[in-house]
Every structure is written in C-alpha cells, then in structure tokens.
A and B are shown apart, each in its own frame.
Chain A
Amino acid sequence: DIQMTQSPFTLSASVGDRVTITCRASESINNWLAWYQQKPGKAPKVLISKASSLERGVPSRFSGSGSGTEFTLTISSLQPDDFATYYCQQYNSYPVHFGQGTKLEIK
C-alpha cells in the first residue's frame, strides 16, 4: 500500500494569511493526488484532483502543486470559511489511502 503523510498536524493562521500544507507519498504516485476539505460534522469535499486541477466551484485562492512523492496545497489568502481540516489522498493504486489530516485553526 502507498501511505500518505501530511504536515503539519495543526496550523494556526489568521485571515488573509498565505498557508501551505504538505503531503508526502511513500512511493511515487505521479500526479494522482486529491485534496479534500472537511468541516465538523460534514463529509469531506474535494477541492483539487490530479494534484493541481481545481474542482468546479472551488475558489481560486486554493491551489495544488507537486508530482511524484511531494505535494502541496496552498491557500493564498485565508478566508473565515477556510478554517477546517484538510486531507490529501492518493489514487494511483488501490487501496487508496488518505493523509492523517491537517487542522487549520484561527490564530
């Protein structure tokens, strides 16, 4: 199985900040990586697929980059609605695995 490791576990930031979350795969997954946002009591919502493709309706302040084993999710200017937990997920091979999550908190 391909394991996913995210960092940091928690991130404290303020509205307007630029933040970056990192995700590492235990082996190459090419660019078959998705990012999800989850708010308390809700299902995850896909933000980005194929490492850098923004899903329809997702604000352009979200961006993804990377390939192989190292990936990043960047939020260019944090908005109040962005405080949530973010997960990466590899879909290069089954069984798919998620990262452990990064909780983005208000500073």
Chain B
Amino acid sequence: QVQLQESGPGLVKPSETLSLTCAVSGGSISSGDYYWSWIRQSPGTGLEWIGYIYYSGNTYYNPSLESRLIMSVDTSKNQFSLSLRSVTAADTAVYYCARESHHAGHYYYYIDVWGKGTTVTVSS
C-alpha cells in the first residue's frame, strides 16, 4: 500500500522560499500510471490544488501560483518536492502531498492517496 510522507520546515519567514519534500513508500514514483501532487488547506481558502509532477518531470501548476512555484522529482530517492518562493502570510497552510490516479481507459485523474500533511507557518 502506497504511503506518502511530507517533510520540511514548519516555519518560514516572509519573502523567503518554502521547500517541502514528499517521500513515497510502498510503490515506485516511476510508475507511469500516476501524477504526484501538492494540495494545501487553510481556514480562509479551503482546499487548494497546487500542481502535479509526472515521474518524467512534466508538470502542471495552478496558474494562481505558477509564477512562484517549482516542483521537482527524484526517482532515485522515490520522492518529489515543492518550492514556493516569495511567501507571505497567505501561504500559511497545511500542505499535503498526494497521488493522482485515473480510471482504466480514461485519463482523468483524481486524488486517491494523501499524505498526512505538514503545517507551514509564514511568520517573522
């Protein structure tokens, strides 16, 4: 059974870069069947999908965050990462990494596995 685990600093200063990593266990990130995603949740904005990365490195970012966002994948370590620069208090949230799967014969992806989430606070 695939499990995902987020890691990274819980506190980031305004204007700095938020960096998180998601370790995947119980399955290979190099499987071509999945997208690997980040979602965040804050009381003010609810659940917000950030973007996904494919094992090949192809990405799709939410346009609302695209200018500040970089995702990367390390297949040798079976993990993927998020980097969000120039953070403000509005980026304070619980950040989840997740796996997106599709139904057989269709290429529409939904989130079927979530990490436990990590709280990131932006504050000086």
Write the residues of chain A forming the contact surface with B, with a CB cutoff of 8 angstroms.
32, 34, 36, 42-46, 49-50, 53, 55, 87, 89, 91-92, 94-98, 100-101
Q: Is B96 in contact with A50, judged by CB distance below 8 angstroms?
A: no
Q: Is A98 in contact with B112, judged by CB distance below 8 angstroms?
A: no
Write the residues of chain B forming the contact surface with A, with a CB cutoff of 8 angstroms.
46-49, 51, 60, 62-64, 96, 103, 108-112, 114-117
Q: Which residue of A lies closest to B103 (CB)?
A: A50
Q: Is A43 in contact with B117, judged by CB distance below 8 angstroms?
A: yes
Q: Which residues of B contact A98 (CB under 8 A)?
A: 46-49
Q: Is B110 in contact with A44, judged by CB distance below 8 angstroms?
A: no
Rounded to whole Å, the gap between the CB of B53 and the closest CB of chain A is 13
Q: Is B110 in contact with A89, judged by CB distance below 8 angstroms?
A: yes
Rounded to whole Å, the gap between the CB of B25 and the closest CB of chain A is 16
Q: Given A43-B116, A44-B47, A98-B49, answer yes or no on A91-B96 (Cβ-Cβ < 8 Å).
A: no
